[in-house]
A = this chain, B = another copy of it.
């Protein structure tokens, strides 16, 4: 939303963003995969865990570099930090990085000029992809924090995924909940995302209904009802 109100980005910034979008998306998925290996690899597989940690660090460095290039190309300096809040957050919390898939998706859509009817399908696809990526990242982060905590109810990665699903849908059974402060901070972030996901599903359904309805209005001659 905020992107529309901002001044038009300089051409070089846009060119940079278009060129690095696909590689950076691949890098962000690599980041997630590396983090997953780091968390889920058995304690014995020391080599693979170290390799994954190195990969994660290298990709993060890549993200920071890209952010720096974009700050410079935008010519906005510090204002870039404020006007591109999501980008800044994503550099600090790279597990949220895959959310930039949404940006790529929009770019692809605009090139293909898809018919407008798929707007709701697009929102649903966004929400679905975001839910899966966020849920997976949160499961990993919470599992890493909780697995060795005393009195934890999240003891396996399966428990963590189960907890993430119950949280994202705002069902919240409470049979598996984080008990460590770090795990709870991740959980609060996931709850907020669940609220947003609910908003996206509800909102797109609502606007779809309104559209179907107004189209029916146009087709029929206005009756007395």
Cα distance A119–B213 when bound, in Å?
8
A102 to chain B, nearest CB (A): 14
When C-beta atoms are compared, the residue in chain B nearest to A223 turns out to be B115
Cα distance A177–B175 when bound, in Å?
8
What DSSP secondary structure best describes chain A's contact surface? helix
Partner of A213, one of B196, B198, B207: B207
Contact partners of A117 in chain B: CB under 8 A: 1, 4-5, 225
Partner of A1, one of B174, B187, B208, B225: B208
Contact partners of A158 in chain B: CB under 8 A: 181, 184
**Contact flags (1/0) for A117-133 with B, using CB distance below 8 Å?**
11111010000000000
Known: A1-B121, A199-B205. 16 other contacts (CB 8 A): A116-B220, A117-B225, A119-B209, A158-B181, A158-B184, A162-B184, A165-B187, A166-B172, A170-B195, A171-B191, A174-B174, A195-B201, A199-B201, A202-B202, A203-B208, A210-B210
